[in-house]
Amino acid sequence: MPELVFFSGTMDCGKSTLALQIAHNRDARGLQGVIFTRDDRAGEGKLSSRLGLVTDAVEAPRDMDLYAYLVTQLSQGGKADYVIVDEAQFLAPEQIDQLARIVDDLSLDVFAFGITTDFRTKLFPGSQRLIELADRLEQLQVEALCWCGARATHNARTVGGEMVVEGEQVVVGDVNRPAEEIGYEVLCRRHHRRRMTSASARAGALSPDVLPVSHA
């Protein structure tokens, strides 16, 4: 039976890499997929992973009807055996309903990949709707790590290396950006609650208040 499957995890845990692997495995068996994405780090109409892999995709703006797009493709002689959606958290809730309709009415597997919560630990509307509708929820097993070495469970937005908890829900960025830019970092819950990023931890370690005192 076709399924709507939601693969979720923090940033930097290999979601896009797995999406590309699923596409590769099916393409190797002669199957043809349609890949949707939104605001990928590699630019419009791309699905990329941090390992350097990239493929073409269909950019899915907020007002795009994903079900209608598939129906049009199929009615014009196109082929689609499965659907992959990366950055699914950015989709509107009604677009998630369209994905469910693709599964139910067109009998296609849909594999959606995304993070569940934003930098404020609030559910993305698209992810919330996926949790409500998906036939299956899969937590990625590749664990991203906080700077302290613990399992990372939260996504933090940083500006100048400092964690922020206010602002627009969607601001495109990535991990490993220069400190002066808007970026993201994955943290364990304890350090997310304390707003302690790797940069602030380094600054604390170098503070004169905690440096050893020489009595020489």
Is 143 considered catalytic here?
no
pLDDT of residue 216: 46
Spatial contact of 90 and 123, defined as CB atoms under 8 Å apart: no
Max avg pLDDT among 12-26, 93-107, 134-148:
93-107
pLDDT of residue 125: 95
Q: What is the pLDDT of residues 178-213, one digit of tens each?
A: 555 778 888 999 999 999 998 888 876 655 554 454
Which DSSP category does 154 fall into?
Answer: E
13 is in an annotated binding site: yes
97 is in an annotated binding site: no
pLDDT of residue 211: 46
Q: What percent of the chain has pLDDT over 70?
A: 87
pLDDT of residue 55: 86
12 is in an annotated binding site: yes
Q: What percent of the chain has pLDDT over 90?
A: 53
Distances from the Cα of 19 to the Cαs of 156, 167, 211, in angstroms?
Answer: 23, 29, 46
Spatial contact of 4 and 103, defined as CB atoms under 8 Å apart: yes
Report yes or no on whether pTM surpasses 0.85. no
33 is in an annotated binding site: no
Max avg pLDDT among 126-140, 143-157, 184-198:
126-140
pLDDT of residue 159: 86
Spatial contact of 195 and 163, defined as CB atoms under 8 Å apart: yes
Buried b (16+ CB within 10 A) or exposed e, 4-33: bbbbbbbbbbbbbbbbbebbeebeeeeeeb
pLDDT of residue 12: 73
Catalytic annotation, pick one of 3, 44, 59, 87: 87
Spatial contact of 23 and 13, defined as CB atoms under 8 Å apart: no
Distances from the Cα of 65 to the Cαs of 28, 70, 95, in angstroms?
Answer: 29, 9, 7
- Report, as an integer, the average pLDDT of 120-136: 95
185 is in an annotated binding site: no
Q: How far apart are CA 66 and CA 68, in angstroms?
A: 5
